[in-house]
Chain A
């Protein structure tokens, strides 16, 4: 699999009578930022559940390039719901992937401590999640996802529950850390602007059953800053995506 970290071929999935996914083909290249854009109920999260093996497809093939060093397949997965554990201090929450891997607690904490600044969480190591703001919690959850030893990161609407300002800040910040750590990302969102701003490529899903109706490469030059959002290029992409989404989503 030359340069691909993830390939899905002809994935099909239904829950009982309800067809959720139909003939899904997609791929993520090494270092690429790919977004799944679609209306609610288009089965975006189900695709993630299939990739992470939390549910099985009826048909189709999932292939993930294995980590060179690891036997066990690990995937960095951040579900939509906030999954920071309320009983762990921030530093231990973030260190969880390292601890699970079998690293010694002291050493894991040390690793996390050196990275807290990059993720804008310095000074909050010993806080419990319920003492933090929504934006900080999302940053911590993202940091934990980054610390999972995996080439592929799956992020399921990580910014959906945030206010507009925090959201914009975190998008900008995510691009920064993504470039710094050179990971491949598969990102779920229903926001057109967020998709264009972040991605190298966007897959648009239709609603019920979810099918990929468009694969659109975004060639806006990197590094991007917020000013690209007002560029003519950006508007063109937005028009295409908006039209495609309108044509392929039905109100139930």
Chain B
């Protein structure tokens, strides 16, 4: 029964999407809007298959920027959240600024990154770090705040060192919070890398998009969007799987 439900759960969404695509195809065909304004879904599929090799190459660059940025953001946010939790004054100094910094649109930061760091991977990675860092830090800080005081006390009484308290209590306690932050960050990471690529460079889905834009190849643009969506969804699902893997105690009872 359970399995049956799991397979058929996304059916309504898929059905609706199929209907929208069909509708789009029909409208585009009968109105004869030029392809460079509104391509038909079949045009987009064609563009996708024609550019498959190229898109694959560009995806690799985008993924590389997204994942390395994400990795740096993870390490940075764990360290900063831990230090803020440990030392009250640092939190008071840092946390409000952190929140305010998030009101700066990333699209405004990215050009500065390019000027400072050129057209290579670095500015893209830094853009990703800036975007992903915030949701992670906030959720980890939240998690550390919720660690049970008594749990830590019991360990202190039996002689645990700070390092042991971190490994046995704080780290596992923040995992659920960490992963809910990571699920947000991971979808942002692809987007941030693409924004970084828009502004310059010679590899990446964002670069491919800018080139397609300059040649009015809107079918290619749509195929690039499709790739971004697929990449984001894959990363999201992988994150979900990892969280399932590392937190066996959070799994729902099976049976």
- Given A85-B172, A87-B249, A130-B249 in contact, is the A74-B150 Cβ separation under 8 Å? no
A75 near B157 (CB under 8 angstroms)? yes
Cβ contacts under 8 Å, B157 to chain A:
52-54, 74-75, 77
- Digitize A97-135: 1 where CB-to-B-CB distance is under 8 Å, 0 elsewhere: 101110000000000000000000000000010110000
User: How far is A216 from B249 in the complex, measured between Cα atoms in Å?
Assistant: 46
Interface size bucket, A side?
A: 20 to 34
How many Å from the CB of B174 to the closest CB on chain A? Answer: 11
B158 near A87 (CB under 8 angstroms)? no
A100 near B164 (CB under 8 angstroms)? yes
User: How far is A81 from B160 in the complex, measured between Cα atoms in Å?
Assistant: 19
- Given A83-B148, A86-B249, A130-B249 in contact, is the A96-B155 Cβ separation under 8 Å? yes
How many Å from the CB of B149 to the closest CB on chain A? Answer: 9
- CB of B227 within 8 Å of the partner chain: no
- CB of A142 within 8 Å of the partner chain: no
Cβ contacts under 8 Å, B158 to chain A:
74-77, 96-97, 100-101, 148
- CB of A72 within 8 Å of the partner chain: yes
State which residues 63-80 of B face A: CB under 8 Å: none
User: How far is A73 from B175 in the complex, measured between Cα atoms in Å?
Assistant: 32
User: How far is A74 from B156 in the complex, measured between Cα atoms in Å?
Assistant: 9
User: How far is A99 from B155 in the complex, measured between Cα atoms in Å?
Assistant: 11
B159 near A72 (CB under 8 angstroms)? yes
User: Which B residue's beta carbon lies closest to that of A129?
Assistant: B249
Interface positions of A (Cβ within 8 A of B): 52-54, 72-79, 81, 83, 85-88, 96-97, 99-101, 128, 130-131, 148
